[in-house]
Structure 1
Amino acid sequence: MRWSPDHYLKYADHRLRPALDLLARIPLDQAEQVVDLGCGPGTMVEALLQAFPTAELTGIDNSEEMLARAQENFANQATWQNADVALWTPKTPPDLIFSNAALHWLDDHEALFSRLFGFVTSGGVLAVQMPNQFDQPSHVAMREVAGVGPWAEALKPFLRPAAVAKPEDYYAWLKPQAKSIDLWKTEYVHELKGDDPALDWISSTALNPLLEALGENHREDFRTALAQKLKKAYPKHQNGTTLFPFKRLFMVAVKA
């Protein structure tokens, strides 16, 4: 699956804020080995190195396009590695595994989170933020449109069940290895501009796999049908802006 760094970074300020909120809650004074898991275009490199200036930072992602942008902008500030996050194993136990808006793409979170937390050093931290939008209008509309029309059969394999579990599930999975666990939810309300801002936002993330699966003949028809639903769900205000609520789940677990 191809990702567009330029499209993703169009909303860089909005996407950066949750990552900074996550970083602010990490109870570490120092960390020597830091992993940015699902690092994308390297958005958090400077903030992580500012928080942990002596750290050896490794960025992990499975998108060649995103890693190319990260290397272009931050070549000497981190080590960049193309790897499947679900299969990745660190060479050195990290003091911090930081993952912003990445792990919701993967299944079997019980096994995944237990495995990742197991890599962390004693006293180290697993810090994770994930979008939690499955039941929100943008994602409901996306599934509704995908389920009807000439593209329905082709898109069926890409309609995943909700990957993000309940907070109490993550607590239960992490607690056997944890000294402490901090869990919280936040709903951001983004002020977006443009003709179809909700569609544009999800096109660079959740909608991307579906758009890639569609042939050229159906892609624009699909986007048009989805845009109509999203405009009703997220109407423009009189000043021309669109408010786009976005829910996210956070966790900071300290290893025993």
Structure 2
Amino acid sequence: MADPGRSSGSGAWDPGRYLRFAGERARPFAELTARIGAVDPRTVVDLGCGEGSLTAALADRWPGARVLGIDSSASMLASAAARARPGLGFALGDVRDWAPEEPVDVLVSNAVLHWVPGHDRLLARWAGHLSPGGWLAVQVPGNFRAPTHTLLARLCRSPRWASLVADVAPPEDAVPEPAGYLGVLTEAGLTADVWETTYLHVLPGPDPVLEWVRSTVLRPVLARLDDADAATFTGEYAAALRAAYPPRADGRTVLPFRRVFAVGSRPGC
């Protein structure tokens, strides 16, 4: 899913690269939306819809609803446009500024809020956009203290790279603990269901962890570097990832990936 930041340069969103691990990325969305109890919603919004395949799944689940996907990446929306149909549309927008014209019955945001500092306030605002009986469901990566992120942050802040990319190093506190999301939703007047899951993704091929992060946390870093520096930086990071995530005897690599889920519903009239 697209972040509300850059959408050009060497760090641009690449739908094809993002979808290389489509199955692994879709599973949390399915498990998140399975906890939504809406039966016949009229309006459904997917904030940070990316290339639209998961938004289309919402339209399939609720064929009578008006489903809208919002994203800040023109390249992702160009891919999503092929999925548009009556009742399902997509629009360019920044999730930080988004506000509906009328209350929303189901609001979903999958793997987006970790790009937004202080997003607890944004989440509380979204809760205020729900109709009576409405549902809010979000999922965020909870792996900012995993080697994928700590190694990247250390490299960004190293003497060689600090002047170029230190300010885009992934912060350890980008995502609150599950209890934080529980507090935000309940304080906003919602009945909350919050949990976490650590997936063990078994990835094939050479440097699969690097390929995974190329389409996510590495993007803002590469967007700051020219081609030569990007190649050097990526080589250093790849070597560190190989040491942290060595391949198994069968040649595949296990990537543990923690995710945090929060679903809230507003009492009906």
Partner Cα separation in structure 2 for residue 50 and residue 70 of structure 1: 15
Q: Give the direction of change, closer, same or farther, for the CA distance of 1:22–1:44 in structure 2 (3 Å limit).
A: same
Q: Structure 1 segments of 4 or more deviating over 6 A?
A: none
User: Structure 2-normalised TM-score?
Assistant: 0.91
The letter of the residue matching 2:73 is: S
Q: What is the Cα deviation at residue 43 of structure 1?
A: 2.0
> Match for 1:234 among 223, 245, 266?
245
Post-superposition Cα deviations, 1:74-118, rounded to whole Å, max 9, x if no partner, equal 355522111110011111211010111111110112211110111
C-alpha contact (below 8 Å) 2:59/2:88 kept by paired residues = no
The aligned runs of 1:1-256 (5 Å cut-off) are: 1=6, 2-76=12-86, 78-161=88-171, 162-256=173-267
C-alpha contact (below 8 Å) 2:63/2:87 kept by paired residues = no
C-alpha contact (below 8 Å) 2:103/2:130 kept by paired residues = yes
The letter of the residue matching 1:10 is: R
Q: Give the direction of change, closer, same or farther, for the CA distance of 1:68–1:77 in structure 2 (3 Å limit).
A: farther
Partner Cα separation in structure 2 for residue 235 and residue 160 of structure 1: 22
SS in 2 for 1:95: strand
Greater shift, 144-153 or 16-25, is seen at 144-153
Post-superposition Cα deviations, 1:125-163, rounded to whole Å, max 9, x if no partner, equal 110011111100111111111111432211022124322
Greater shift, 15-24 or 170-179, is seen at 170-179
Partner Cα separation in structure 1 for residue 224 and residue 80 of structure 2: 26
Among the aligned pairs, what percent are the same residue? 38
Partner Cα separation in structure 2 for residue 179 and residue 60 of structure 1: 23
SS in 2 for 1:8: helix
Q: Give the direction of change, closer, same or farther, for the CA distance of 1:160–1:246 in structure 2 (3 Å limit).
A: closer
C-alpha contact (below 8 Å) 1:38/1:60 kept by paired residues = yes
Partner Cα separation in structure 2 for residue 163 and residue 43 of structure 1: 26
Q: What is the Cα deviation at residue 33 of structure 1?
A: 0.2
Post-superposition Cα deviations, 1:57-84, rounded to whole Å, max 9, x if no partner, equal 0000000000110002335552211111
C-alpha contact (below 8 Å) 2:152/2:169 kept by paired residues = no
User: Structure 1-normalised TM-score?
Assistant: 0.96
Partner Cα separation in structure 2 for residue 140 and residue 106 of structure 1: 19
C-alpha contact (below 8 Å) 2:45/2:108 kept by paired residues = yes
C-alpha contact (below 8 Å) 2:189/2:266 kept by paired residues = yes
C-alpha contact (below 8 Å) 1:130/1:250 kept by paired residues = yes
Post-superposition Cα deviations, 1:196-237, rounded to whole Å, max 9, x if no partner, equal 000110010111010111122211111111111111111101
The letter of the residue matching 1:145 is: L
C-alpha contact (below 8 Å) 1:151/1:214 kept by paired residues = no
Greater shift, 176-185 or 243-252, is seen at 176-185
Unmatched runs of 5 consecutive residues or more in structure 1: none
SS in 1 for 2:217: coil
C-alpha contact (below 8 Å) 2:170/2:217 kept by paired residues = no
C-alpha contact (below 8 Å) 1:104/1:130 kept by paired residues = yes
SS in 1 for 2:131: coil
Partner Cα separation in structure 2 for residue 146 and residue 163 of structure 1: 16
Q: RMSD of the TM alignment (CA)? A: 1.3
Partner Cα separation in structure 2 for residue 29 and residue 127 of structure 1: 15
C-alpha contact (below 8 Å) 1:45/1:77 kept by paired residues = no
Partner Cα separation in structure 2 for residue 132 and residue 48 of structure 1: 24
